[in-house]
A and B are shown apart, each in its own frame.
Chain A
Amino acid sequence: MIKGISCLAKACSWLAVVVTLGAVMLFLGFLGAKGLNTFNLTLFFGQTPPWEAITGHLPVWHGIWPACVGTVVLVLLSSLLAIPLGLASGIYLAQYASGSWKSWFSLAVELLAGIPSIVMGLFGFALILFLRKTLAPQANTCLLLSAVCLALLVLPYLIVMTQTALEAIPGELRLVGLSLGFNPWQNLVHVLLPLAGRGILSGVILAVGRAAEDTAVILLTGVVANAGLPAGILDKYEALPFQIFYLAAEARSEGELAQGFGAALILLILTGALFLGAYYLQSTFSRTWDQKKLII
């Protein structure tokens, strides 16, 4: 009977793998095939000549260039907010915090990590409602608001990966700099951060990827289907994920649908590359430290 169970389990696992692989292959293949077909200049710029489109002299209709720029600007802005904050918090938690303060902070970070993105967007929306009632009646959802909410969304990744990377450094190695007479800051900058660098970098890349792909937050905080190139941080803007979302529902022609595929493929390539990079960095990082553990 045991042999029978073994065989049954094997068969089931093969079935699971085949089904999953089949679904994923279909999925990616479909996207790849239809998406690659659309790769040309009109995908990005519509009928507008490329140079004028890039410099913003002429608006782009039926092209995803503004959305691409919007995504890039959005991700840059939210990274600018999130990376210093996240790294600083991660360093504090790994190096200075202890006792009950540390557990309360860790709890807060865990809760933040678990908040669904729509709730983060709702927070942004609530912020605007609040501002309208009190300090700034003109307040409206905009690029800045989205960047702030996205920064909060990816903050946990940065904090946790920085903290983990620093705490992975073996105990004695952390003491070496101090034992030579380095002060804590010198030890951090010249010894610990370089040693933890790859782990931290993979956290940064992960955060950037997450910010680039998110749709729910930007849905509630200022993204629109047609705004052209982002004019200012207090204005509406376009973004790739939202274009895909919008086109899925509102595409009225083959051309628009094709645009959706093109945009989807570009977004996939972007986030896929980022996540693979982060994964690669993370695995070489942990391999280094596991080796060190064996020696010590």
Chain B
Amino acid sequence: MPIPGQTRWHRLEQRQAAIKGLLLGATIISCGSVLAILGFLGYFAVPIFSQGHLAEILSWDWRPFQGRFGILPMVAGSLCLAAAAMGLAFPLALGICGFAHGLGPQRLGRPLLGLIHFMTGIPTVIYGFISVIFLVPLVRNIFPESTGYSWLAAALTLSLMILPTIVLVIHAQLQQVDVRVRLAAAALGFSPAQTLLWVLAPMASRGLWAAAVLGFSRAIGDTIIALMVAGNAPQVPHTLLDSIRTLTAHIALVVATDSTSQAYQSIFACGLILFGVTAAVNFALRRLQTRASGAMRHD
């Protein structure tokens, strides 16, 4: 006497296999999209090489009406803006994390982190909007020789935007440090501040690197703040008050103005550069993660 349900079992197995197949299909579509994106960017960037424009694109001059399509000023612009924003945001983030983990009163730490969490929900375009209405005229008033749309204004705004990312990554790293380590330090007579400075901080160094890398990549990847506040002059900045253009803003501007095919080629080069930066950041984070016991990633 066979166990009842033999044929039912076969149909069940078929259905299970079909379900698994569907789910696999969905995964392939999701993951294949990365290849599709890379593919399309590459496809449109190929003419740069086939038409021998590489040297032109990699030059320091962007004057499309005179046939100059160099994107290096934009590369400089992106780097300068990101570096300045990081220079402001990272120390602030360290201070905030320190405050929440021992340097400040316990009771204030949680609401502070709550506020930081809330900040992650603020849309970037709103940072840009307030900056344009409020910060840019302020800069213009203080430094009458500039229009206000400057490296300085953009860096200030961008630093505020990337601050929560950096804080939360460092915070996650500090939280992960074993409770026993903290108890041991307290048992030795360390105050919370001393525990933080001499015990936790050295252990969290990988998290600090992860936070820096993530913050930097968010800064490089930002478009709206740069587009609205930085001025968009395709030049290498000499002072903080100069107007700069980032790779991201450049893409938006060229698409909007609907210009020549060579200009289009340049934006695909920008796109590829940005994609490459992404991949490099990913690689760096993986290296950091495999060594640290899981620095949390925020996106």
Which chain B positions have C-beta within 8 A of A110? 282, 286
B58 at the interface (CB under 8 A from A): no
Task: Among A15, A152, A248, A271, find the residue whose CB has the most chain B CB atoms closer than 10 A.
Answer: A248
Q: Are the C-beta atoms of A89 and B121 separated by less than 8 Å? A: no
Which chain A positions have C-beta within 8 A of B96? 13, 16-17, 20
Q: Are the C-beta atoms of A105 and B103 separated by less than 8 Å? A: no
B70 at the interface (CB under 8 A from A): no
Q: Are the C-beta atoms of B129 and A248 separated by less than 8 Å? A: yes
A144 at the interface (CB under 8 A from B): no
Q: Are the C-beta atoms of B299 and A118 separated by less than 8 Å? A: no
B203 at the interface (CB under 8 A from A): no
Q: Which A119-139 residues have a C-beta within 8 angstroms of B?
A: 119-123, 125-127, 129-130
A-B contact count (CB 8 A): 248
Which chain A positions have C-beta within 8 A of B12? 183
Contact with A along B222-249 (1 / 0, CB 8 A): 1110001000000000000000000010
CA distance in complex: A46, B286 (Å): 52
User: Closest B-chain residue to A112, C-beta based?
Assistant: B34
Interface stretch, picked from B139-147, B176-184, B204-212, B270-278, is B270-278
CA distance in complex: A100, B120 (Å): 34
Contact A12 B122, CB 8 Å, known A17-B112, A126-B43: no
Interface of B is mostly: helix
Contact with A along B80-104 (1 / 0, CB 8 A): 0000000000011111101100011
Return 25 A-B CB contacts under 8 Å, by A number: A5-B197, A6-B191, A6-B194, A9-B98, A12-B95, A14-B103, A14-B104, A16-B93, A17-B112, A27-B160, A89-B27, A96-B20, A110-B286, A113-B299, A116-B222, A118-B252, A119-B271, A120-B37, A122-B251, A126-B40, A185-B16, A216-B223, A245-B228, A257-B133, A275-B120
Q: Which residues of B does A touch, CB under 8 Å?
A: 12, 15-16, 19-20, 22-24, 26-27, 29-37, 40-41, 43-44, 91-96, 98-99, 103-104, 112, 115, 117-130, 132-134, 160, 163, 191, 193-194, 197, 217, 220-224, 228, 248, 251-252, 255-256, 264, 267-268, 271, 274-275, 278-279, 281-282, 286, 299
